[in-house]
Amino acid sequence: MRVGLASGAAAVLLLVALLIGYGSFFTVYQTRQALVVRLGEPRRVITEPGLNVKIPLIESVIYIDKRILNIETPAQEVIASSGPRANAGLAQAGERLVVDAFARYRITDPLKFYQTVGPDGASTQLAILLNSALRRVLGAATLSDAVRNKREELMGLMRDQLDRDAQPFGIHVIDVRIRRVDLPEQNSQAVYQRMQTERQREAAEFRAQGSQKSQEIKARADRDVTVLLADATSQSEQVRGQGDAERNRIYADAYGQDPGFFAFYRSMQAYERSMQHGDTHLVLRPDSDFFRYFGDPTGKSLPGGPNTQAAAPAPGTSAAPNPSSASSTTK
């Protein structure tokens, strides 16, 4: 009986020893840091990973994340600066802006963090501080500054301010970023309408300038065409006059070299023009000079007819003797 009791007591003692031994050791991983608390009072902070010892049943371990953490806030409205607008038509002075931002932070002092906000209240407290930093920094900036001109500078100012406010809680703020900056919905349509009107005005101005340039180019082209045509016409008339003069000169030279052949050639042309097919009836005097080559191949005047030389055309003329010029009637 005593052996059984002894064995049971030994087993109980062994179990208690195991429980005490299990409760005396704890592990700190690389992503965590530990705060050892004795009866609610912080005793020590462990930041290095490894196996550590604590007093069982008296001391407890609170694990605090060692990684970079994220704090998100819903989009909120802030009032823009009353300074001059950087871009006309985008935002008016004092107009409300909808800002969406987030922050990245790390817990650097677990003891201070535990004593001030604790793991449950850190997100709420940081969200309040982030909203305050947003309002203070963006309240002195315009929409153009927040969107493009000074965006990086403004985010740096918010980070520095939030970091100063979070240091009493053992928190170091690494970065603050603005996701989006917009106008409230009730103002967006009016702003878009102003932008559309401005673009339409600029487009109309560009079209008017283009139309003016087009008219100037067309007028200049029409003037150039008129000048070119006038020059070409003048040159063509000059060339034509030179050609006529050259033709008359050649005719005169030919007539001077052989007047008889020239008179014969012109008479043949007159016969060809006056005696067309289907219309060869002529009423002329038989002894007319027009028929002198019919009676004599040499072209001498017919008995009683006019002088041959008088019938010959003058030098330089191009018209053949016209049968209608004689005292006759053509049928």
Q: What is the pLDDT of residues 145-191, one digit of tens each?
A: 777 788 888 899 999 999 999 999 989 999 999 888 877 777 667 77
Identify the sign of the CA torsion 309, 310, 312, 318. Answer: positive
Q: Is 131 exposed, middle or buried (0-12, 13-18, 19+ CB in 10 A)?
A: middle
Q: Would you state the pLDDT for residue 262?
A: 78
Tokens of 96: 């409300």
**pLDDT digits (tens), the chain, 331 positions:** 566 677 777 777 777 677 776 677 888 888 888 888 888 788 888 888 888 888 777 878 888 888 998 988 888 888 877 555 444 444 444 677 888 889 999 988 888 888 888 877 888 888 899 988 888 888 887 777 777 788 888 899 999 999 999 999 989 999 999 888 877 777 667 777 888 899 999 999 999 999 999 999 999 999 999 999 999 999 999 999 999 999 888 878 877 787 777 778 788 888 777 777 776 677 777 677 777 777 676 766 545 544 444 344 444 344 333 333 333 333 3
